[in-house]
């Protein structure tokens, strides 16, 4: 069995707790919301066995990493520099960065910010989309006026935290089920209005087998019992600040790239235009694949397929 170790590493003025395995070229694995480094539990040993040094951090605000108090500390400029700082902190000059969910834009942004350090980039679930022409929060308010939209619900500090932290285990079970490929529409509740919460109408599925066992869920619960949801939700509260910070950053990915998602992922439905346009902005897109039957939790719901795509992509870089 490949040994997975945990340690804390200083980067970009904070410390991140990381899981790591293997020796060789560096591959950084960046998780999303609401997860942790543990979401890469299937990829760490596979990459190590293939001759890579695989490192998955708990992102700032999550798990055993530092939890900055300032809401603005969670903008993508700072978060991306956390990941870029890990490369030199781990003793490398270059790395491949692969992200899922919120980790996907972080991976894309790392590639844009420092193409010398990020020799290749991968994303799961969220395709690359160039910076828009208007601040994103105003656009979302206009598009979803009079409707419930989770990113707008997350904007007011304390509201989603109170809902999610009331019962972390039930929250995570519902949230994970809601976006999984196994979700039954009859359990997702009816239409929500702009003043509704997110999960009270969602039925508790009771379990998340086969992709998330009882012990897997317990690991996530332990992580969020330590961190709470404030830091993770703050990523959504920096949409406009991130938009401003990246005003002068080039918006074309020149490195070799991979994209993989589940064909039952709701993000793919929302981001279809970005998915269709991605080859225009990512000309060296070596892998662009949808996994049949998988939902949003790509690397957990379909670990064998994700590992296969990932290892084929990495092998093609050498």
What phi, psi does 94 have (nearest 5°)? -140, 160
pLDDT category, 221, cuts 50, 70, 90?
very high
Query: What total number of domains does the chain contain?
Result: 1
* CATH number of the domain where residue 67 is located: 3.40.50.1820
Whether residue 101 lies in the annotated active site: yes
pLDDT at 163: 97
Which pLDDT band holds residue 318 (cuts at 50, 70, 90)? confident
Query: 244 or 188: which carries more pLDDT confidence?
Result: 244
> 88: domain range?
5-315
Euclidean distance between CA atoms 263 and 281, whole angstroms: 22
pLDDT, tens digit, for every residue of 149-168? 999 999 999 999 999 999 99
Q: What is the pLDDT of residues 42-85, one digit of tens each?
A: 999 999 999 999 999 999 999 999 999 999 999 999 999 999 99
pLDDT of 235 > 90? The answer is yes
What pLDDT is recorded for position 126?
A: 97
Calculate the CA 223 to chain-centre distance. 16
- pLDDT value at 31 more than 90: yes
pLDDT at site 186:
78
Q: What is the DSSP string of 87-146?
A: HHHTT-S-EEEEEETTHHHHHHHHHHH-TTTEEEEEEESS---PPPSS-HHHHHHHHTTT
Q: Kindly state the average pLDDT of the residues 77-103.
A: 98
| Mean pLDDT value across the chain | 96
pLDDT of 208 strictly over 70: yes
Of 31, 53, 100, 296, which residue is the catalytic one? 296
d(C-alpha 54, C-alpha 181), whole Å: 27
Residue 258 bridge partners (DSSP): 122, 287
Band of the pLDDT at 1, cuts 50, 70, 90?
low
CA distance 53 to 20: 7
pLDDT surpasses 80 at 189: no
Mean pLDDT confidence for 110-117 = 98
**pLDDT higher than 70, residue 16:** yes
Sheet with 118-124, edge to edge strand ranges: 5-11, 14-21, 53-57, 26-30, 95-100, 118-124, 257-262, 285-291
Residue 296 annotated in active site: yes
Confidence of residue 191 (pLDDT cuts 50, 70, 90): confident
Q: Residue 177: its pLDDT value, please?
A: 95
- Contact present, 184 and 206 (Cβ < 8 Å): no
The catalytic residue among 58, 66, 101, 265 is: 101
Task: Provide the 8-state DSSP code for 296.
Answer: S
């Amino acid at each position: 069995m490949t040994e997975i170790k945990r340690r804390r590493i200083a980067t970009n003025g904070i410390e991140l707790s990381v899981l790591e395995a293997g020796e060789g070229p560096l591959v950084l694995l960046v998780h999303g919301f609401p997860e942790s480094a543990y979401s890469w539990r299937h990829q760490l040993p596979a990459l190590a066995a293939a001759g890579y040094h695989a490192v998955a951090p708990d992102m700032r605000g999550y798990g055993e990493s530092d939890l900055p108090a300032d809401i603005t500390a969670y903008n993508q400029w700072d978060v991306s520099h956390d990941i870029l700082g890990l490369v030199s902190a781990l003793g490398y000059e270059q790395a491949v960065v692969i992200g899922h969910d919120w980790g996907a834009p972080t991976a894309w942004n790392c590639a844009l910010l420092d193409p010398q350090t990020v020799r290749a980039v991968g994303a799961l679930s969220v395709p690359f989309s160039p910076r828009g022409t208007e601040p994103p929060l105003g656009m979302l308010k206009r598009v979803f006026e009079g409707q419930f939209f989770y990113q707008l619900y997350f904007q007011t500090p304390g509201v989603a935290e109170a809902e999610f932290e009331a019962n972390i285990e039930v929250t995570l079970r519902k949230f994970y089920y809601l976006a999984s490929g196994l979700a039954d529409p009859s359990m997702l509740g009816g239409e929500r209005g702009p003043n509704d919460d997110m999960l009270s109408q969602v039925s508790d599925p009771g379990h998340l087998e086969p992709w998330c066992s009882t012990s897997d869920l317990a690991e996530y619960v332990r992580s969020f019992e330590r961190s709470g949801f404030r830091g993770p939700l703050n990523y959504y509260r920096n949409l406009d600040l991130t938009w401003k910070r990246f005003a002068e950053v080039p918006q074309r990915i020149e490195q070799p790239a991979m994209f993989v998602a589940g064909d039952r992922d709701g993000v793919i439905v929302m981001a279809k235009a970005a998915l269709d346009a991605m080859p225009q902005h990512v000309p060296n897109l070596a892998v662009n694949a949808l996994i049949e039957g998988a939902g949003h939790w790509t690397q957990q719901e379909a670990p064998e397929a994700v590992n296969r795509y990932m290892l084929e992509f990495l092998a093609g870089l050498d």
